[in-house]
Amino acid sequence: MNGSRGLAITAFVLALAPAGLPPYVMTLLTEALILGLFAMSLDLMVGYTRLLSFGHAAAYGLGAYTAGNLLLHTDLPLVFAVLLAGAFSGIVAIGVAWVCTLASGVSFSMLTLAFAQLLYAVAFKWTSVTGASDGLAGIPRNPGPFGITVFTTKAGFYYLVLACLIGAFVFCRSLVRSPFGAVLQGIRENEAKTRSLGFDTRRYKIAVVAIAFALGGLSGALYAPFAGFTNTELLFWLLSGQVLIMVIVGGAGTLIGPIIGAAFFMLVSNFLSSWTDSWALFFGLIFIGFVLFAPQGIWGLATRWFGRGRAPEAKGRRWRSLNWTG
């Protein structure tokens, strides 16, 4: 199966979904695609550059609160508000990454966590902007531009999310296959060597964090008008951990894997939580199983079964080779 044809078929099937699926399934699917975009953005850092972030919720929350405020307090059309919020997250990330990339390995991860927790604390105190513990409620889906109202409906919003996900996927795929992407893979495998070849690796790392935050922010920005509210949980470390699990279970370093991982996470956690209150315990066991026995993740397993193991994105073992010292 050719990559572009697979993408076209998947997009086509997903585009037909609103015609056949009941509304509550559509709600779940929309949320799964938003989380898929979120997980895919983290994959650029974790899977492709070996920058392990424990604070990716910062991107999600930044996007969500920015979009929430834009939609509540301005007449900016939904599409523009969402894109602007993503861009804002990316710009903030340049500064954050500048600080975090002063360190590497565990220290880098801890700095990302610290930054996310800082935002979490700010969200609790800055009542006028974040609504503190109440969060922002009643976030509308502003119509426009030019009187276009299609995105404000349930199905229309789904198409907006789908378009964002596919657009981001095509963008990321082009990025990781470009010369820039080749340098990222060099950093992942041996950063010191990459630097000694003459690449200013820190700039590449700052750039990839900014891109990951912009796309992660975009997903958060879609979540705000999807749910109609934001709260501080969107900035909490639990979400940072969950998205990391989605990436690893789905297959780090594959882009598609984390999207599947996000859907898998939603599906299984929904199923488990309807059955037991301690669902997180059981999901934890599933996670451990993947790390130990299938470090290449769901997509890694699938590509091996279907004989596409030689595709450049689908080399296994990646995760196992991901260690702290780099």
Partner 1 sequence: MALLELDGLTRRFGGIIAVDDVTMRVKAGEVRAVIGPNGAGKSTLFNLITGVVKPTTGAVRFDGEELTGLPPQRICQRGISRTFQLTALFPEMTARENARLAAQARHGRRWQPYGGGSVFADAERLGDAALERLGLTHVAQRPAGLLSHGDQRLLEVAMALAQGPRLLLLDEPTQGLSVEETEQAVATLAALLADGSMTVLLVEHDMEVVFRLARMITVLHRGAVIADGAPDVVKADAEVQKAYLGGLA
The alpha carbons of the chain give a radius of gyration, in whole angstroms, of 19
Candidate ranges 34-42, 46-54, 80-88, 193-201; the one touching partner 1 (CB under 8 A): 193-201
177 touching partner 1, by CB under 8 A: yes
217, 10 Cβ separation under 8 angstroms: no
For every residue of 140-181, DSSP letters joined together read -----STT--GGGSHHHHHHHHHHHHHHHHHHHHHHHHSHHH
195 touching partner 1, by CB under 8 A: yes
**Residue 94 burial (C-beta neighbours within 10 Å; 0-12, 13-18, 19+):** middle
Single out the residue of 211, 55, 69, 52 nearest to residue 121, CA to CA.
55
243, 61 Cβ separation under 8 angstroms: no
Subset of 197-236 contacting partner 1 (CB under 8 A): 197-201, 204, 207
74 touching partner 1, by CB under 8 A: no
186 touching partner 1, by CB under 8 A: yes
* Minimum distance of partner 1 from residue 311's CB (angstroms): 14
317 touching partner 1, by CB under 8 A: yes
107 touching partner 1, by CB under 8 A: no
279 touching partner 1, by CB under 8 A: no
178 touching partner 1, by CB under 8 A: yes
The binder of partner 1 chosen from 27, 152, 185, 273 (CB under 8 A)? 185
48/226 with CB nearer partner 1: 48
91 touching partner 1, by CB under 8 A: no
10/185 with CB nearer partner 1: 185
Single out the residue of 251, 228, 238, 237 nearest to residue 322, CA to CA.
251
* Minimum distance of partner 1 from residue 229's CB (angstroms): 35
Tokens coding 118: 């800082």
Beta carbons within 8 Å of 178's beta carbon, 6+ residues apart: none
287 touching partner 1, by CB under 8 A: no
What φ, ψ does residue 230 adopt, rounded to 5°?
Answer: -130, 150
192 touching partner 1, by CB under 8 A: yes
The binder of partner 1 chosen from 156, 163, 315, 326 (CB under 8 A)? 315
CA distances from 309 to 6, 253, 306, 313 (A): 15, 13, 8, 9
4 touching partner 1, by CB under 8 A: no
**Contact residues for partner 1 (CB under 8 A)?**
174-175, 177-183, 185-186, 189-190, 192-201, 204, 207, 315, 317-318, 321
